[in-house]
């Protein structure tokens, strides 16, 4: 089962490291700022398309966001 708290905290840390606002991420994902906040606070998850967008946008592995590894290394495009 997805640990929404870990998923959200990693997204929050990445967003803050990159200096983006929740509004910027909301526009990227075509959701509201409140939805971004809910994801970052572990209150909700996201769909597969948005998950893929987040991995590409932040250049981190899916395994990192899902909590399978602490290594955020991006392997690049297929």
pLDDT band (50, 70, 90) for residue 48: very high
Domain positions in the chain are: 4-66
Integer CA distances (angstroms), 27 to 12, 23, 32, 33, 73, in order: 16, 6, 8, 8, 25
pTM above 0.85, yes or no: yes
The CATH code of domain 4-66 reads 1.10.260.40
User: Tens digits of per-residue pLDDT, 3-19?
Assistant: 999 999 999 999 999 99
Q: What are the tens digits of pLDDT across the range 54-70?
A: 999 999 999 999 999 99
């Amino acid at each position: 089962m997805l640990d929404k708290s870990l998923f959200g905290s990693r997204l929050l840390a990445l967003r803050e490291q990159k200096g983006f606002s929740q509004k910027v991420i909301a526009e990227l994902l075509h959701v509201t700022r409140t939805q971004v906040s809910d994801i970052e606070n572990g209150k909700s998850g996201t769909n597969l398309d948005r998950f893929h967008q987040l991995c590409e946008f932040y250049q981190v592995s899916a395994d990192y966001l899902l909590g399978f590894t602490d290594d955020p290394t991006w392997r690049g495009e297929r």
